[in-house]
Chains A and B, each alone.
Chain A
């Protein structure tokens, strides 16, 4: 009976200790509380172990459950879990955005600036030329010799002393079309000789 109680107490204590370890790992208990309860449990277990050693010395059968090995094994599992987490669970690192090559952007900017400047220079020159007054003096000089009062030279044939006169009477009437510029009608009678 006593042995069953010791074994059951021992198992219970081991489980409680294991549970306490788990709670401490999960952060459910504070370190202070963990230390206090652990000390209590370990004292009880040490008492039980001491009883086991006495029984052993007495040659009596003892439930040789290694307490410390269980705890150590639990600790090792926890450590192993933490190491595995650290090894395989990583937060993705932010990929640094490399700045673009400054040389290419400068060239594009320079080209755009040049094109804009050329556009505005050309447009401004065109506007300036269009606004210039017409310079007739720069055009080709044209001389006009015609006149409404020309010097008329009557042509007559004197060498052969022959004058041919033909009388043609032609009556024509012309009617001018009415237009927005000039309007009027005229009737003409022409006598042509020659």
Chain B
């Protein structure tokens, strides 16, 4: 008898906006806020549909390493990845310079060598002298399909 049309506004390609900790970005409507455990993480969103064993596998984390404030982004980037792939269980896939909203950025794509391999896409941004790292993570099989969602977050990322 209830003829009301109840729909979830998170579906049908709608996006949500995260706006906390002086940053904002848009993310897919079906995703939800997540709690990051990394000490320098300021935001995290994940796809609830990717939860496996209680842990989401499709995740985007925004990190602001305090130790890098005022530092040169290229130098910090190079230092971080100098030994990152040396017998660490991570394998680099690609890296390079990219442009995000007209600004130069650095990108490093790598994957883990575990039994359930994940692939990572780290985008390094310099916003007003402060370095932000947007880390996009997904299972290796899903990584390519999640690029649109990752790009939505990366391209809408703003520092207030």
Contacts and interface: CB of A to CB of B under 8 A. Distances in A.
B37 A140 contact: no
Chain A interface main SS type: loop
Contacts of B97: 184, 186
A176 interface: yes
Contacts of A184: 96-99
Interface stretch (A21-29, A42-50, A75-83, A121-129): A121-129
B135 A125 contact: no
Nearest to A129: B6
Contact of B4 (A122, A145, A187, A190): A122
A149 B99 contact: no
B74 interface: no
A142 B41 contact: no
A179 B100 CA distance: 11
Contacts of A146: 38, 59, 61, 120, 135, 137
Interface string B1-17: 11111110110000010
B46 A144 contact: yes
A134 interface: yes
Contacts, number: 148
Interface string A127-171: 101100010100111111111111011111000000000000000
A126 B6 contact: yes
Given A122-B4, A127-B4, A144 B36 contact: yes
A153 B84 CA distance: 10
Nearest to A183: B99
Contacts of A122: 1-4
Given A156-B87, A174-B96, A125 B37 contact: no
Nearest to B83: A152
A136 B122 CA distance: 26
Contacts of A119: 3
A14 B118 CA distance: 135
Contacts of A35: none
B51 interface: yes
A181 B2 contact: no
26 contacts: A115-B1, A118-B1, A123-B3, A123-B4, A124-B4, A134-B10, A139-B32, A139-B33, A143-B34, A143-B35, A144-B38, A144-B59, A147-B36, A147-B63, A147-B135, A148-B38, A148-B122, A149-B40, A154-B83, A155-B88, A176-B98, A186-B94, A187-B96, A188-B94, A190-B92, A193-B86
The 9 closest A-B pairs by CB, nearest first: A186-B96, A126-B4, A122-B4, A122-B2, A181-B151, A147-B38, A184-B98, A142-B34, A118-B1
